[in-house]
Amino acid sequence: MAAYRGAAGFQRVLLAVKHVCFSKQRCGVIICRYSTVYDPNEKVSLIIRDFSLFFTCVIKTCKKMGIKTVAVHSDVDSSAVHVKVADEAVCVGPAPTSKSYLNMDAIMNAIKQTGAQAVHPGYGFLSENKEFAKRLAAEGVTFIGPDTHAIQAMGDKIESKLIAKAAKVNTIPGFDGVVKDAEEAVKIAGEIGYPVMIKASAGGGGKGMRIAWNDEETREGFRFSSQEALSSFGDDRLLIEKFIDNPRHIEIQVLADKHGNALWLNERECSIQRRNQKVVEEAPRFDGSCCEYVFLTQVEHPITECITGLDLVQQMIRIAKGYKLQHKQSDIPINGWAVESRVYAEDPYKSFGLPSIGRLSQYQEPLDLPNVRVDSGIQEGSDISIYYDPMISKLVTYGKTREEALKKMEDALDNYVIRGVTHNIPLLREIIVHSRFVSGDISTKFLPEVYPDGFKGHMLTAGERRELLATAAALYVAAQLRSQKFLGDLRVSVVPAECRRWELCVELDKGVHMLGVSRSGNNYTVEIDGEKVEVSGEWNLASALLPITINGKHRTLQCLLRTAAGEISLQYLGTSFKLRVLSKLAASLSKHMPEKVPEDTSSILRSPMPGSVVAVSVKPGDNVAEGQEICVIEAMKMQNSMTAAKTAKVKSVHCKAGDTVGEGDLLVELE
């Protein structure tokens, strides 16, 4: 450890990271001073800014190498995990990224203030900004990443395509210059031929990208893409290229030093996406049936580390110091299989994932399971805000085979406890067990092809429905029995003999089921439609997890809600199901309760997500057509056009540009 510390030579790291959210990823910068001999008095710092979860990984590696760290953060990220685990922290401005994480002056001041000597750029924001790299070089600060020439070449998509073409590498057909305005975009799109992809030249992560199938969508796509690109990367330049309608997204990790040595660290399969952002990844790739490759630039690392055994962050730091690669190509193995699920604070039932905000009231990672890795930058009590990208973590499982890795992912998702925000675990779990995914029949169109009407959650089979009903009934009885006791003793001295059989009514998906339940210790026998289901478990009702055995099969459920009125929400096979369990008497009386009349949504427009109002296109008295844009909501740096559900006159407008709105807030009323 000491020898390696000396080689690395970093002692202090300044980390500039944003909180956990993805439309705008948190970025970081590392600033360091190196030495060939470890000197405890030498001040070496890294500034890291990017995804909070990535910076947490970098901090861990730095600590292992004896490098001290300093986290830079916006004011809303003052309690973020990366800020707490770093050795020092510096606030560089308010929440808007233009005033904090994209503010070069503030970051350079933080570097001078702390004496930081190296910068790790992370994945976004200034990580591909050549001007930032030049400013660091001018101050004698090491940039842990590509030099300014490489950033100019690869960080700019327009420049990188030109270089790839010159090297006779396949590229996607398109216009290789900067698109000046919307009308030029329409002209270029017509020459290329629809459909086209409008794409930000800087950055990545699905920001500033729109698919256009006609002239109108091109104009709209140009507007939204340029605004998102400017907001996310400080650069509104766009390019246009042919949209490849049904591709596979394969990545190849490359690692190179300053001495002409380079390695490739095998492939990653990243085709499962929504809104041009990866959702599920795996390494290695599972077949070689792709007929043609084209050039793109991408970043990633956890699953590659799993199958190669290399710490890529550690390698980056060594390379930045000027050391040669420690490995040859023949040293790079493919050991086993790794799968990564990107866990987001998103509602998967809305366009495969619209952002959700809130405070993590309960958070428990499944790290007690073997071969599970969680790269996260949050903890219980963390806030997911509207300002940054909503990624919670990268959940990685590893196995000797793909089948083993996928089974471990099922267990990990079932044991992952997230409360306080809506999350995409239901979608992730459905993806990894779907027959098409398991067989490898995938492309970037997987989600819209498998779920053409949108994601609806897990569709229960008859057997699974019985399992769920039986579990809810057993849980209800266990709770009733527990309520009769206090500290293990009966609450009253004289009670009737304990009931051995219960007749219950369980409601699920508007269906009503009569069940008979009998108990022996922790074992319950539930009779449903003439069939018996055996359910057993410890029934620890205070635990977030509910590990049980159903007809000899182990299951892990989560009880999300349980009320005195018999309402029970269970997370089963990844999806949350709402049930109501009543006694026969209560069920007979419930029919007299009035039902809530559903709201007529055709005449009102509510915000489908929390965010800020970018623009309002109508005023009271205006006539609008069905599908016409009414306003634009920006959530986590993704802009969303809100449209009219019918042709009507605007009755009232309840928002204005600059307003912050919550999910479900009323925006506009129509007559």
| pLDDT tens track for 584-624 | 888 888 878 887 777 778 889 999 888 889 999 999 999 99
- List residues bridging with 60 in a β-sheet: none
Q: Residue 527 burial (CB < 10 Å; 0-12/13-18/19+)?
A: middle
pLDDT at residue 328 tops 60: yes
Q: Which of 2-16, 44-58, 152-166, 506-520 is predicted least confidently?
A: 2-16
Query: In the structure, what pLDDT confidence band is assigned to residue 497 with cuts at 50, 70 and 90?
Result: low
H helix intervals, 65-181: 81-85, 104-114, 130-138, 148-150, 157-166
pLDDT attached to residue 26: 33
Determine the pLDDT at residue 48. Answer: 52
**100 vs 492, higher pLDDT:** 100
Do 641 and 216 contact (CB within 8 A), yes or no? no
Q: Is the pLDDT of residue 290 over 60?
A: no
pLDDT per residue as tens digits for the range 430-446: 999 999 999 999 999 99
Q: Would you say residue 177 has pLDDT above 50? A: yes
Q: Are 645 and 601 in contact (CB under 8 A)?
A: yes
Q: Can you give the pLDDT at residue 235? A: 82
Model confidence at 248: pLDDT above 60: yes
CB atoms within 10 A of CB 537: 20
Residue 19: the pLDDT is 26
User: For residue 153, what is the DSSP state?
Assistant: I
| Residue 547 phi, psi dihedral angles, 5° rounding | -80, 125
Q: How far apart are CA 61 and CA 69, in angstroms?
A: 10
CB 76 within 8 A of CB 83: no
Closest CA to 357 of 405, 397, 310, 389: 389
Instruction: Identify whether 333 is preceded by a cis peptide bond (ω within 30 of 0).
Output: no
Q: Which of 213-217, 360-364, 485-489 has the lowest mean pLDDT?
A: 485-489
| Rounded CA separation 201/240 (Å) | 9
> In this prediction, what percent of the chain has a pLDDT beyond 90?
50
**Least confidently predicted of 447-451, 458-462, 638-642:** 638-642
Helices (H), 489-602: 584-590
> Residue range 448-455: average pLDDT?
95
3 state SS of 191:
helix
In order of start, what are the domains of the chain with their CATH numbers? Answer: 46-151 (3.40.50.20), 173-242 (3.30.1490.20), 250-450 (3.30.470.20), 462-482+498-591 (3.30.700.30), 604-670 (2.40.50.100)
pLDDT of res. 12: 35
Q: By mean pLDDT, which of 20-34, 327-341, 422-436 is the weakest?
A: 20-34
| Radius of gyration of the chain, Cα coordinates, nearest whole angstrom | 27
Count of C-beta atoms within a 10 Å radius of residue 34: 21
Mean pLDDT of 285-303: 62
Q: What are phi and psi of 153, to 5 degrees?
A: -75, -45
Please state, in angstroms and rounded to a whole number, the distance separating the CA atoms of residues 91 and 88: 10
Residue 25 reports pLDDT greater than 50: no
pLDDT tens figures, 352-395? 998 888 899 999 999 999 999 999 988 999 988 888 888 899 99
Reduce the DSSP state of residue 452 to 3 states and report it: coil
Cβ atoms of residues 399 and 371 within 8 Å: yes
pTM to 2 decimal places: 0.82
Alpha helices in 16-145 (DSSP H): 52-64, 81-85, 104-114, 130-138
Rounded distance between C-alpha atoms, residue 331 and residue 577, angstroms: 49
* pLDDT confidence band for 276 (50 / 70 / 90): confident
- What DSSP character marks residue 207? T
Tallying the residues shown for the chain, one arrives at 671
